Structure 1
Amino acid sequence: MTPILTDLTIVEVAAFVAAPLGGLTLSQLGAEVIRIDPIGGNIDFTRWPLNKDGHSIYWAGLNKGKRSVALDLKSPEGQEIAAAICTAAGEGRGIVTTNLPARGWLAYETLAEARADLVMVTLIGNPDGSGAVDYTVNCAGGFPDATGSGGAPVNHVLPAWDVAAGLTIATGVMAAERHRARTGTGQKVTLSLADVMHATVSNLGFSMEVEVNGTVRQPIGNDLYGAYGRDFATRDGRRIMIVAISNRQFRAVGKATGLADRFAMIGPLMDVDLDDEGGRFAARHAISAVLEPWVAARTLAEIREAFDGTGVLWGPYQDFGQLVAEDKWHSEANPMFGRAEHHGIGATLTPGTPLAFGAVARGAPGAAPRLGSATEAVLTEVLGLPSGEIARLADKGVVAL
């Protein structure tokens, strides 16, 4: 079996998170992704974290499985080669993704002159084309003000809008490619990072809540809004999250802890219905006061033994080191993972696609390439350039091999 997107080629001219993540997502599904960078690397090539030899672990993570082409993108000859790779003839080719300024040789209108059915997905900042990054979009989205326990806003270390935009880029590529397969027509697809945030804020009801109820979501710490959920400290200094959204889950907590009778006293005492999510949210402090000493008297291992197999919805808080050391799903026991040798980084546990298809192969996890390692092969296979011409371009500094 071959991976599901084996017959597609995407040319990526991008940097940082969103667009490279879109390409990575498609690569993990089997597409050939050719990343074009300037010689010496783009502005994200040495972004932290770095290993002891100065290689970017960040860059390696986002570019696994891609073919790297390095060109002098300031020279007319380098731009001509890049444009030719973007518009190369062949079924499944002629697909470009970028989050860089799409002008000059990279403009859709310019590339479409060479290939009329070109599909190009371009990520911009704000809908009017002005600049925005995850950190400026995030601060405007309301989430930092609704995070924490009040006071100053709290940024999230996860670049959520870049991640969501990257996955949307992959979705946009597939939608536009499907349209081209049906009609033979290419198109320019534009995605605004700010629009990803605004759509999400609306889809999850945060902005609609303001319009409908006239209320603004307030920070409530680690409590779960509208249902029961909270973090607790264990006897051995760890923390866990316990969540009970459904009645079945709440009853499971009471049964596993032996606290069901005490929970039953809370409803009449507070005049709330604990068989209702809203009732459990209203009584969250009382429920937590009953649960807190139970958790505090036990170690994480003891809690795991008490909860596993009971239907309790819970999980341990883990830093990244604990995730690597302790989480059974972050290992080769999970079929998504394998080990791959990344240039400049070494062999690490590496994921493939999270999607498991029943009819096609998942595909082996890809390795991060050396910058420019596929330049010669791509110029030969995609453009048909002879070795002598490639050597001339290399001697001239137009390409890096």
Structure 2
Amino acid sequence: MSGPLAGMRVVEISAFVAAPLAGMTLAQLGAEVIRIDPIGGNIDYHRWPVTPEGDSIYWRSLNRGKRSVELDLRSAEGQQSATDIIASAGAVLTNLPAHGWLDYDRLRQRREDLIMLRLLGNSDGSPAVDYTVNAASGFASVTGTDDAPVNNVVPTWDVTAGLYIATGMLSAELSRRETGRGQEITLALSDVMLATVGNLGYIAEVSLTGASRGSIGNAVYGAYGQSFRTGDGRSLMVVAISNSQWRRLGEATGLSDKLAMIGPMLDVDLSTEGGRYEAREAIDAVLRPWFASRTADEAAVTLQEADVLQGKFQNFAELVAKDPRCSVANPLFTEIDQPGLGAIIAPRSPLTFGGTPAPSASPAPELGVDTDDVIGSVGESQSRE
């Protein structure tokens, strides 16, 4: 393996999004990540989306660059093999219940400096998933345009938790190199949500004002941003946060004079973000005909040439077929031959180090393909000891 984490070894025993994403994040940076699954695959092995043949696109997308070991984790022999692999690697991440053979203190008897990170649903150990956590976060009540809460289809808390897990594993590895000691780390999915809500100021806002935000559609809170319907039935998102961006929006649309009239009329200061937010409905009304008289492409080109922040709304098919950023022209992507799927483009880590991108994407393994090799290498290591 190449990359900044070359030489780091991690065992992953997991399912769904957060923990597999964490493992893949480490693998993309060069760590050797060994995913251990029960015979036939874990609960996420057949998760949608799938190919017409039933192969999970989801599973193969979240496990690229890893090694795959398949064991009967219900048997004493399988648990012993998994324990041997964990002890050899020295680090394990999991979102499974950490009891019995997977208990940290029990595993630590095999390797005193073991690093283990456990992902929980709630900090009290009770279960939770992304969509139940998001429902409680407050964001679903702000999303949308009416009184009905809307859950975001992006598994935001799983993704954020996955990156927290990777950060936690790296922090513990750095500490171990300094002190020689391992440790058990826990992370609760709901705490990831709560920390984010707090870090973005929502908790303090309620504490200080006693008010909760309502839904504002696609408007940008505290600044100016809005979506507009274009003449060809498409939608375009426009954002003007700084004063220079606000000025360029007026110049690009030829509506600077009309927009300037809004301030005195509503007694707001349009040179401030807050003022533009307060006047957003009047600003929308002035801008809307300009977008309605143009296609999305025409509006986007005009705004882009004026350095106005804009983005066309597009579905996944349009992203793949039409967006040049989603292609091998972007160094992020590599074309790989993925067993079970065929030729696809896949992203590497988006991090670039000193001008050098992270290692190119590599395929996900076939389930269990590395079982004999990993067990054999652990046995050889134990023999040398």
Give identity over the alignment, percent.
55
Query: Structure 1 residues 50 and 314, CA, compared in 2 at 3 Å: closer, same or farther?
Result: same
Aligned amino acid, residue 380 of structure 1 = G
Partner SS, residue 193 of structure 2: helix
In the alignment, what sits opposite 2:23?
23
Aligned: 1:308 with 2:304: yes
**Partner residue, 1:63:** 63
CA contact (8 A) 1:134 1:161 kept: yes
1:289 aligned onto 2:290: no
1:2-401 aligned within 5 A: 2-88=2-88, 93-358=89-354, 362-384=358-380
The letter of the residue matching 1:227 is A
Match of 1:53, SS state, is coil
Cα distance change of structure 1 residues 144 and 361 upon mapping to structure 2, 3 Å threshold: closer
**What amino acid sits opposite 1:43 in the alignment?**
I
Letter in 2 for 1:50: V
2:29 partner letter: L
C-alpha contact (below 8 Å) 1:3/1:360 kept by paired residues: no
Query: CA deviation digits over 1:83-118, x for unaligned, max 9?
Result: 100001xxxx30100001111111111110000000
Q: Distance in 1 between matches of 2:349 and 2:184?
A: 26
Shift of 1:15: 0.3
Give the SS at the match of 2:353: coil
- Do the aligned partners of residues 350 and 334 (structure 1) sit closer, same or farther apart at CA in structure 2, a change above 3 Å counting? same
Provide the secondary structure at the position in 1 that maps to 2:36: strand
Please report how far the alpha carbon of residue 2 of structure 1 lies from its aligned counterpart in structure 2 after TM superposition: 3.5
- Partners in 2 of 1:150 and 1:325 — Cα distance? 33
Gaps of 5+ in 1: 387-401
Q: Would the aligned equivalents of 2:300 and 2:310 in 1 still touch at CA under 8 Å?
A: no
- The offset of 1:237, in angstroms, is 1.5
Kindly provide the amino acid, as one letter, of the partner of residue 216 in structure 1.
Answer: S
Question: What's the counterpart of residue 399 of structure 1?
Answer: none
Question: C-alpha root-mean-square deviation of aligned residues, in Å?
Answer: 1.4
Contact 1:87 1:111 in 2 (8 A): yes
8 A contact 2:304–2:310 mirrored in 1:
no
Alpha-carbon distance in 1 for matches of 2:188, 2:306: 44
Task: Output the CA distance in 2 between the equivalents of 1:101 and 1:16.
Answer: 14
Q: Is the 8 A contact 2:70 2:368 kept in 1?
A: yes
Q: Secondary structure at the match of 2:221?
A: coil
Could you list the runs of 5+ residues in structure 2 that have no partner in the other structure? none
Letter of the structure 1 residue corresponding to residue 75 of structure 2:
S
Distance in 1 (CA, whole Å) between partners of 2:304 and 2:143 is: 30
Q: Does the residue aligned with 1:241 lie in a helix, a strand or coil? A: strand
Q: Measure the CA separation in 2 of the matches of 1:174 and 1:285.
A: 47
